[in-house]
Structure 1
Amino acid sequence: MQDSKKTYSNNWFNTPFYHILYKDRDYAEAQLFIDNITEYLNLPENAKVLDLACGRGRHSIYLSKLGYNVIGADLSKNSIDYAKEYENDTLHFEVKDMREPFAEKFDAVFNLFTSFGYFQDKEDNLLALKAIKNSLNDYGFAVLDFMNVHKVIQNLVPEETKEVNGIVFHIKRWVEDGYILKNIVFEFEDDHFDFTEKVKALTLEDFENLMDEAGIFLLDIFGDYKLHKFYKNESDRLIMIFK
């Protein structure tokens, strides 16, 4: 007898399940990072800030509370629809492809928590970096916070199961053709879901080459949210400041 369950396998980032699986991310640590990085950048009062690939806007909201004029942008319409409920005079959200520069210019552009490298084509990564550069004003800085792929690959957990909100997520991870892949399979209300995240395993050297092509100046590199020095095999993050 044929299984009557439907299988869904598209638009993972546009589903509520993405947010359910990752709901326990350490947002206190994220806020500490935002505190540290805004202090480091010494942004002007009422600075215009773009939070690029903002998801549901949690970090945009925090940036707004710090006194900045913030635009959160993301490709996921569902995420932006959710975030729009939090809009105010200094906080706005819009659906936007990160490969397209903004007409207005910003004092800072943030691309946080590994929200880069999901494109299939290297040229799209280059377009995204150029768009970030072109969205900065003359005095602006960009912050790109990416995983440290060396450490991630060394510590990759091949298989695990997580139960969140009564949903059992079966997760597999592997490296293939220069990408880190994560397959997420689960059942919900008699339907079967099968999604795969695929992010380019970009190293510091890869970013340096892309930035050279884009005419970008890499100004500083940090290895964690406390802004310690970057060490290739030890650091948790690869955080790049550029313009």
Structure 2
Amino acid sequence: MKDSTISFYDELSEEYHLIFDDWYQTVLQQGQILDQFICSPRVQFDNKSKTLLDASCGIGTQAIGLARLGYNVTATDISPQSVARGVKEAEKAGVAIHFGVADFRTLQEDVEGEFSIVLSADNAIPHLLTDEDLAAACRNMHAKLSEGGLLIVTIRDYDHHVQQKERATIPRVFDDGKRVVFQVWDWSNDYKTYTVNHFILIESEGKWNTSVQRTTYRALLRDEFSQILSAAGFDNIDWHMPADSGYYQPIVTARKGKPTTVR
């Protein structure tokens, strides 16, 4: 993960809510959807302790919604500015969340304790561009789970995006046409990575103000990620598509099994 990723989210932190029609309503909806998913027969998870580490919390989009539903949430992110805003938003929402700055690859050092659930939502993991960095992140997420704990990661449907070779997202128009949000994707020649140009256009007094941030992602295919998770020690690795989970991105779940006894 490069410094450009930190800069991308630091710069976006004060505007992040503008990506959504109503950010706080999204907070509530995503919290409900994820809670229902965790408690569903599909996942089969005994969620009595409700201790959760959100390892890519941003400004709190998932963490706040889950804290409102009774989860004991620790929330970390690589972007200090996003974490700072997350603290403010949690205070506004009246929920107690322990926030901190941490890197996926060093969670074991940066975050104290173990959790029944480790979450990374909103396509954060694919900022890690190499197998080595992904493996380090998965090992660290594994280390932060208690025995039998549940990993939840959501990413874009890269199997579809690579096949379709998509170049941009469909513009989303809010505020009666006065706010437009979209992305332009510049793919590498081998379609293994792409640079996102993230645009927010806002009309004010007849003039359009444009905000643009850039960052790079890996087009992480499902089989690739499953293999990396397995190598990190996870088992019961399952993919859940939006039509089944109700969440807007594909979700992968995995478990931290019991330690193997050497005889």
TM over 0.5: yes
Q: Give 1:127's match in structure 2, choosing from 106, 124, 136.
A: 136
Is 2:115 the partner of 1:94?
no
Aligned to 2:261: none
3-state DSSP class of the match of 2:160?
Answer: helix
Task: State the Cα distance separating 1:47 from its structure 2 match.
Answer: 1.9
- How big is each residue's C-alpha offset from its partner over 1:137-170, in whole Å with a ceiling of 9 and x where there is no partner? 1131111111111223327244766677867667
With a CA cutoff of 8 Å and minimum separation of 6, indicate the structure with the bigger relative contact order. Answer: 1
Shift of 1:35: 2.5
Which structure: greater helix fraction?
2
- Whether 1:174 aligns to 2:170 is no
Report the counterpart of residue 64 of structure 1 in structure 2. Answer: 67
Offset of residue 84 of structure 1: 1.4
Counterpart-to-counterpart distance in 2, 1:219 and 1:162: 33
* 2:10 aligned partner: 14
- Superposed, 1:1-243 pairs within 5 Å as 11-15=7-11, 16=13, 19-24=16-21, 27=26, 30-40=30-40, 41-85=44-88, 86=90, 90-100=96-106, 101=108, 102-153=111-162, 154=164, 156-158=166-168, 171-176=183-188, 177=190, 178-184=192-198, 194-224=212-242, 226-227=244-245, 237-243=250-256
Amino acid at match of 1:137: S
Do 2:169 and 2:183's aligned partners in 1 also have CA atoms closer than 8 Å?
Answer: yes
Query: How much identity, in percent, do the aligned residues show?
Result: 18
Distance 1:239 1:161, change over 3 A: same
Q: Which runs of 5+ in 2 are unaligned?
A: 257-263
Contact 1:70 1:92 in 2 (8 A): yes
Name which of structure 1's ranges 91-100 and 166-175 shifts more when overlaid on structure 2.
166-175
Higher mean displacement: 165-174 or 39-48: 165-174
TM-score by length of 1: 0.78
Report the alpha carbon displacement of residue 236 of structure 1 after superposing the two structures with TM: 5.3
Q: Unpaired segments of 5 or more residues in structure 1? A: 1-7, 229-234
- In structure 1, the residue matched to 2:259 is none
Letter in 1 for 2:52: V
- Once residues 95 and 18 of structure 2 are traced to their aligned partners in structure 1, the CA distance between those partners, rounded to angstroms, is 31
Q: Deviations over 1:80-139 (max 9, x none)?
A: 111213257742111111111233000111111211110233211111111100000113
Compared CA separation, residues 146 and 190, structure 1 to 2 (3 A): closer
Matched letter for residue 184 of structure 1: H
Question: For the structure 1 residues 222 and 160, does the alpha-carbon distance in structure 2 shift closer, same or farther, using more than 3 Å as the test?
Answer: closer
Deviations 1:178-225 (A, max 9, x none): 013322367899998653222111111111221233122143221126
Deviations 1:44-74 (A, max 9, x none): 3342111110111121111111111111111
**C-alpha distance in 2, partners of 1:211/1:95?**
23
| Aligned-partner Cα distance in 2 for 1:56–1:99 | 20
Q: CA RMSD in A?
A: 3.4
- The more displaced of 212-221 and 166-175 is 166-175
Residues 4-44 of structure 1 show CA distances to partners (whole Å, capped at 9, x for unaligned) of: xxxx9981211246515523378265234312222135443
Number of residue-to-residue matches in the alignment: 230
Tell me: CA distance 1:18–1:125, structure 2 relative to 1, closer, same or farther (3 Å): farther
